[in-house]
Amino acid sequence: MGFNVKVCDQPQPLCTRRLTGEFNNDNMLERVITWIPDPVLGDKMVEYRWTDYRDVGGGVKLPFHLHAHMGDHPLTGGHNWMDLRVSEIKVNVPDAAQAVPDSVRNAQAPQVQVVKTQLAPGVVLMGGGSHNSVAVEFKDYVVMIEGPLNQQRSLAVIAETKRTFPNKPIRYLVNTHNHFDHLGGVRTFVAEGATVITDDRNRNFYQRVVLAPQQRTLQFDRLSQRPFAPTGPGMAAVQTFTDNYTISDGNQTIELYHVDGLNHSDNMLIAYLPKDKIVINADLYSPPAAGGTLPNVSPNAVALFRNIARLKLDVSQHVPIHGNPGPQADFNRIVAPVAARAPQQGGGGE
């Protein structure tokens, strides 16, 4: 026995979810599958399973095992993201309900805002959220470093870039690595006409999954509505490199380097602007307030320190995809002593 229903968060036809469910022979809910719109995968499957039902009093049965799975895709597989086993369940416990704080009850969905900060002539940090992008002006075009999160964020960044650098197309989007929060806006920039530049380890995934025609019945995006966009194996939407790559027009230059010795991601790059001595990183180092310190120095920051030394980069300013810019002097003061003590292999968790 089961059910199948479409859930509408907005008036028809803007339905964003659909659900199917299954009951066992005892009429206990065993499985629910839903599909949600994902900026990378399109219609993404999420599955919950409830098993090991036991009597918890008064004839009520509840599951003592919950398993959750998401993201099944013919090329990428899926991900088991929760497996919870309960040792005890109590029902009708006095005063168990928690009051919802007013700040939560009255919270509004955050609005997308782009806050510009000029880092150097023709180099603008597009901040204002949890993730930054950096727009770099060239003679005839703009290069965007990072298109994170989703289409909504990317459209706001694109609009602000057009106001900042009128009549210059965004020709390239530099993507630092393949974690979904950092590539959720890739499709939007490709729909804008940009070529994605990223590590060669990403080529297969980006061409065959991220930029390939996808099932997007729950929420269309701009790329899915533009069939002429250059997507698919061998198409021009993705340009990859192994060790390093340079974008230059004779005046402005961006150097891209693979980050060696990093466990956080094996396809990570950093961007370096030699003219302005700026290095841009994602998930490696977020500077503290000027003159401040960090509660701990991650292995990611140590890996960044060692790669800057290996590449002999002359850095004055660190610009993170998360957080605010900071000077090289603070980076050396904070990270160098830890790097001197750390084992030589790189590292980095989430």
Per-residue pLDDT of the chain (350 residues; tens, 9 = 90+): 567 776 765 554 456 677 899 999 999 999 999 988 899 999 999 999 999 999 998 889 999 999 999 988 777 788 999 999 999 998 888 888 889 999 999 988 788 999 999 999 999 999 999 999 999 999 999 999 999 999 999 999 999 999 999 999 999 999 999 999 999 999 999 999 999 999 999 999 998 889 988 888 888 899 988 755 554 444 558 999 999 999 999 999 999 999 999 999 999 999 999 999 999 999 999 999 999 999 999 999 999 999 999 999 999 999 999 999 999 999 999 999 999 998 875 445 44
Question: What integer pLDDT is reported at residue 233 of this predicted model?
Answer: 45
Question: What integer pLDDT is reported at residue 18 of this predicted model?
Answer: 77
The model carries a pTM of: 0.90
Question: What integer pLDDT is reported at residue 16 of this predicted model?
Answer: 63
Burial label, 113 (beta-carbon count in 10 A; 0-12, 13-18, 19+): exposed
What the block records as the tokens of 254 is 């961006």
Question: What integer pLDDT is reported at residue 335 of this predicted model?
Answer: 98
Sheet holding 133-137, edge to edge: 115-120, 123-127, 133-137, 142-145, 170-174, 195-199, 238-241
Q: What b/e sequence results for 327-339 when a residue is b if at least 16 CB atoms lie within 10 Å of its CB, and e otherwise? A: ebebbeebbeebb
Question: What integer pLDDT is reported at residue 234 of this predicted model?
Answer: 43
Distances (CA, A) of 286 to 123, 294, 318, 327, 346: 19, 9, 8, 11, 18
Question: What integer pLDDT is reported at residue 15 of this predicted model?
Answer: 60
Helix (H, G, I), strand (E, B) or coil at 19: strand
- Element (DSSP H or E) covering residue 134: strand 133-137
How many beta carbons lie within 10 A of that of residue 260, not counting itself? 14
Domains belonging to the chain, first-starting first, are 2-89 (2.40.128), 115-341 (3.60.15.10)
